[in-house]
Structure 1
Amino acid sequence: MYIRFVNYLDSLNHYRKSKISNRNFLIILAVIVGVLAGLAAAVLKSLTHHIEEFLQSDWQWKYKYYLYLLFPLIGIMLTVMYVKYFIRKSKFETGLTPLLYAISKKSSRVEPHNIYSQIITAAITVGFGGSTGLEAPIVTSGSAIGSNLGRFLGLSYREITMLVACGAAAGIAGAFNSPIAGIVFAIEILLPEFTIPVFIPLLLSAATAAVVARLFYTQQLFFLVTEGWQMNALVYYVLLAGLIGLFSIYFTKANYVVKGLFYKIKHPYTKVIVGGLLLGALVFLFPTLYGEGYITIKSLLRGDYLAVINNSIFSEYNNIPALVILFTVVTVFMKSVATLATLGAGGNGGTFAPSLIMGGLIGFIFAYVVNLSGIAHLNVSNFIVAGMAASLSSIMHAPLTGIFLIAEITGGYILMVPLMITSAISYAINRSSQKHSIYTKALADKGELLSYEDKDTTVLNQMKLRYLVEKDYVKLNLNDKLSERMSDILQSKRNICAVVDETDDFKGLIYVEELFKEMMNNPHKNELTAHHLVQPAPNTINENEDLKLVLEKMEQDNVWLLPVLDEVNRYKGFVSKTAIFNKYRALLMRQNDYMS
């Protein structure tokens, strides 16, 4: 039955190729991905908000407020249990790093369960108070839709990657009702190489998702009331950008520290308890940390400058400006801790929304302090918006995404110049200290990141060593008599042989030229075994090794080919520069023909 289905699908693909060009077919698929990703975004937002509404308003119990300390713990526990019992055969990962790895090293293969598991776990985590955002899960869900649709139709790596990017763009467009930001995000973060033909599928996918999501949510995320920006405020935007740039460096480093601390906790439920209780305590002291935190930013944009402190146990001190400022500053730093604790403990979400919240609060504090000091009178709302753009730009290393996303979700296109200034400066400050973003550093350290600047590395990362191993070399046992194996050696037309022992453990090489000399001149040639002529290899290659490192080894040892071994030193074959360069050339030709 399966074979018949595959054959039918194959014949359908042949028919499609004869009637529709790749370019037009990808456009059709991009629209389909946009519809599905838009629905996924609507489901995630609706499910999360229903959980929040039930816990905060619908469910009535006189002691329920004592459970607010435990709600985040319950949400993370449910997430971990769902992953353990419902995703057994596949690995479940959060954030955008696994998606980048899939593009770089897994031929853009995103596990199918991510289509729904990201939605379920993110809704539970954030709905119960996890201090993360919904954007990374919906990007992964949308990308999984694109990846699996492309694989189902038997598309090439480049075409599947295109649909992965369409899914990501559609996810952002659907989550924020911001199609332009979705397109820019996909280009900045996911696509290793941008060409004009990919713009049309991205555009249609993002626009379709925004339309579909808008059928369910018509409200704008933030409302900005402003008359524009003033020339005399530009210096303050620059100062704000510098402040957020420095904070983004702190957040990036804190990310690695907190991840390291939770990594040391081996038992998953211990992580849940530690992270959940810590998060519950923080939410109790700083209510702004509950969930995504957008409600606080909305209140600040409306001019309610006491929103951060009003719902806390310190609300009776809201008439003291210094305490309001101090409380908001502490909230910013606690937001970073709460976000990282949620993710480290096993919750699902991303740093997208937390970046916006932290940047918005810093922008508020900066303008509020300047206004109180009497040095100048700044439009607080403008600086909140600029702070969000700067924070997102610097933490994610995506300045264009920060600019267009904030302009779209606030309607603040009139602030484009301040957004550009703050985003560019904060990004430059972070980039001067952190070459890679929090999403890409782990991959870059392992040499698994697609590079915009290094095209050679980008192409090599798309190649897998196991497909380049040549296995038609003669394999000799140490005890084999060479005279008895001469026929095999002559027929192979190779100038080198591999030598192994009885367990297939690699022992070295025999060069055919030296073997012939020995067979001609040695009077005891009939008694010669491989053990007599074997030589150590100049170097060896592990079958999982990165191809860039393989070429470096070949250059270092001045050789054209090297033996490939598995993890336990068993011989697998040889890899040559010729095979690598031929595959490299083929990939470049595929890229040139891409979407033609």
Structure 2
Amino acid sequence: MHVRLVDYLDSVNRYRKQKISNRNFLIVLAIIVGILAGLAAALLKSMTHTIEDFLQSDWQWKYKYYLYLFFPLTGILLTVLYVKYFIRRTKFETGLTPLLYAISKKSSRVETHNVYSQIITSAITVGFGGSVGLEAPIVTSGSAIGSSLGRFLGLSYKEITMLLACGAAAGIAGAFNSPIAGIVFAIEVLLPEFTIPAFIPLLLSAATAAVVARIFYTQQLFFLVTEGWEVNALFFYVLLAVFIGLFSIYFTKVNYLVKNFFYGINHPYKKVLTGGLLLGLMVFLFPTLYGEGYITIKNLLKGDYLNVINNSIFSGYNGYPSLVILFTLITIFAKSIATLVTLGSGGNGGTFAPSLIMGGLMGFVFAYSVNLTGLVHLNTSNFIVAGMAAALSSIMHAPLTGIFLIAEITGGYVLMVPLMITSAISYMINRSVQKHSMYTKALADKGELLSYEDKDTTVLNQMKLRYLIEKDYVQLLEDELLSTRMPDILKSQRNICAVVDARQDFKGLIYVEEIFSEMMKNPDKELLTAHHLVHTALKLININDDLKSVLGKMEEDRVWVLPVVDSENTFKGFVSKTSIFNKYRALLMRQADYMG
């Protein structure tokens, strides 16, 4: 059945290539991806908010509010159970890091189950109060749509990667109703190098998703009313950017600490219990931490500055501005911990929305505090918006995404200059300390990140040593008579032979010219064995070594060929500079074609 399906698809592709060019066909597929990703975004938001509304408003019970301590635990537990019982064949991964890894190391293959599993698990996590965002799951879901469609149609790597990026752009566009931000995100995070032809499918996919999502889900995320910005306030925008840049460094470092803490808990249900109860307690004390938290920013933009504290058990102290400021500051740091606890304990979501919330709260508390001094009056809403852009830019290392996303979702294009200033400064501060974002650092440490600053390393990281091993070299046993293997040696047309023992452990190598020399001058040539002529290899290559280190060893000893063994010293073959350079050129040509 599978063979017949493949043959049918091949015939369809051949017919399609005769009638429509690859570029036009890719545009059609980009529109299809946009439609599907827009539907996925609308479904995800509807499911999440349905759960939230039921738990917070529709369901009435005398003691319901005591259960708020356990709602996040319930959501995380249901997520973990779903993953355990419904996703068995493949590993379930969250966040943007696996997506970047798929592009760099897995030929842009994103498992198909991510189309629906990301929606289900993130809706459960966030709906029950998990303090994370929906954007990373919908990006992964959209990317899975594009990747699966491309692989189903038997497209090439470059075309699958483009559809993956279209799905990611469509996911952002559908989730935020922000097509420009979706395009910028795909280019800035997933496709740092692109050309105008690559831009067209992204444009159509993002625009289509925004339209489709808007049809099925019409709620506006934010409303901003502003008369613009004042030149006199620029100094304060710069000061806010510095504070947020420093905070983003703190957030990145805390991210690793919390991850390591939960990695140390081996039993998954202990993680769920620990994280769920801790998160429930934090949500009980700071209601702003429940779910995405956008409602708080909405109220602040409306001028309801006491909303942060009013819905908490500390609402009786809302008449003290200093306590409002203190409570908001604690909420900001609590949000950072709550987000990481949700993810570390097994919930699904991303740091996209939390970045916006933390940045918005920092912008509010900054402007609110300055205004209390009476020395100057700042437009608080403007600083909330600028704070959101700065936080997203610095934490994600995506300043353009931060600028255009906030400008689109708030309608704050009139604030473009403050958005640019705060985003750029906060990003530079974080980048000066953290070369890689929290999404890319793990991949960079393993040498698995596509880097357009070091193209040689990037291309080499895409290559697998195991696929470059040459196995057509003659293998000689230590005690084997060379005279019996002369026909094989002459036929191989190689200048070296590998020497192994009975267990295939590598013992060394023999130069063919030495074999000929000894056979001609040795009167006992019939008794000559491989053991008499074996040389110790200058270097051994492990089959798991990366290609950059392999080339480094070759340059160090000025050799063209080196033997490859596994971790148990079993001989696997030889690797040569020729095979590495040939593959390197092939990948460069593939990338050049892709970017065109």
**What is the TM-score of this pair, normalised by structure 2?**
0.98
Query: Residue type matched to 1:572 in 2?
Result: K
2:176 aligned partner? 176
Q: Secondary structure of 1:215's partner? A: helix
Query: Residue type matched to 2:130 in 1?
Result: G
1:202 aligned partner? 202
Taking the aligned partners of 1:280 and 1:176, their CA distance within structure 2 comes to 27
Deviations 1:59-95 (A, max 9, x none): 2222222111011111111111111111111001110
Percent of pairs with identical residues: 81
Gap change, CA 1:214 and 1:82, over 3 Å in 2: same
User: What is the CA-CA distance between 1:449 and the residue it aligns to?
Assistant: 0.5
Q: Secondary structure of 1:53's partner? A: helix
Alignment of 1:187-226 (within 5 A): 187-226=187-226
User: What is the CA-CA distance between 1:192 and the residue it aligns to?
Assistant: 4.2
Deviations 1:494-546 (A, max 9, x none): 11112222222222222212222222222322222222222222222232332
Alignment of 1:129-528 (within 5 A): 129-528=129-528
2:25 aligned partner? 25
User: What is the CA-CA distance between 1:25 and the residue it aligns to?
Assistant: 1.2
Between 473-482 and 322-331, the greater mean CA deviation after superposition: 473-482
2:533 aligned partner? 533
Deviations 1:122-175 (A, max 9, x none): 011101100000000000011111111111111111111111111100000000
Q: Secondary structure of 2:497's partner? A: strand
Is the Cα contact below 8 Å between 1:220 and 1:410 reproduced in 2?
no
Query: Residue type matched to 1:104 in 2?
Result: S
Between 200-209 and 504-513, the greater mean CA deviation after superposition: 504-513
Taking the aligned partners of 1:57 and 1:531, their CA distance within structure 2 comes to 83
Is the Cα contact below 8 Å between 1:13 and 1:153 reproduced in 2?
yes
Is the Cα contact below 8 Å between 1:360 and 1:386 reproduced in 2?
yes
Q: Secondary structure of 2:594's partner? A: coil
1:64 aligned partner? 64
Query: What runs of 5+ residues in structure 2 fail to find an aligned partner?
Result: none
Deviations 1:179-217 (A, max 9, x none): 000000001111142222110000001001101100112
User: What is the CA-CA distance between 1:50 and the residue it aligns to?
Assistant: 0.8
Runs of 4+ more than 6 Å apart: none
Query: What runs of 5+ residues in structure 1 fail to find an aligned partner?
Result: none
Query: Residue type matched to 1:415 in 2?
Result: L
Taking the aligned partners of 2:128 and 2:513, their CA distance within structure 1 comes to 72
Is the Cα contact below 8 Å between 1:564 and 1:574 reproduced in 2?
yes
Between 477-486 and 77-86, the greater mean CA deviation after superposition: 477-486
Q: Secondary structure of 2:216's partner? A: coil
2:73 aligned partner? 73
How many pairs does the alignment contain?
596
Between 386-395 and 481-490, the greater mean CA deviation after superposition: 481-490
Q: Secondary structure of 2:108's partner? A: coil
Taking the aligned partners of 1:195 and 1:565, their CA distance within structure 2 comes to 42
Taking the aligned partners of 1:301 and 1:114, their CA distance within structure 2 comes to 35
Taking the aligned partners of 2:64 and 2:481, their CA distance within structure 1 comes to 82
Taking the aligned partners of 2:306 and 2:537, their CA distance within structure 1 comes to 72
Query: Residue type matched to 1:164 in 2?
Result: L
User: What is the CA-CA distance between 1:493 and the residue it aligns to?
Assistant: 0.2
Taking the aligned partners of 1:31 and 1:313, their CA distance within structure 2 comes to 49
Taking the aligned partners of 2:592 and 2:90, their CA distance within structure 1 comes to 35
Gap change, CA 1:464 and 1:192, over 3 Å in 2: farther
Taking the aligned partners of 1:67 and 1:194, their CA distance within structure 2 comes to 50
Is the Cα contact below 8 Å between 1:192 and 1:450 reproduced in 2?
no
User: What is the CA-CA distance between 1:595 and the residue it aligns to?
Assistant: 7.3
Between 287-296 and 530-539, the greater mean CA deviation after superposition: 530-539
RMSD (Å) for aligned C-alpha atoms: 1.2
Query: Residue type matched to 1:300 in 2?
Result: L
Taking the aligned partners of 1:197 and 1:534, their CA distance within structure 2 comes to 57
Deviations 1:250-279 (A, max 9, x none): 001111111111111111111111111110
Is the Cα contact below 8 Å between 2:194 and 2:595 reproduced in 1?
no
**What is the TM-score of this pair, normalised by structure 1?**
0.98
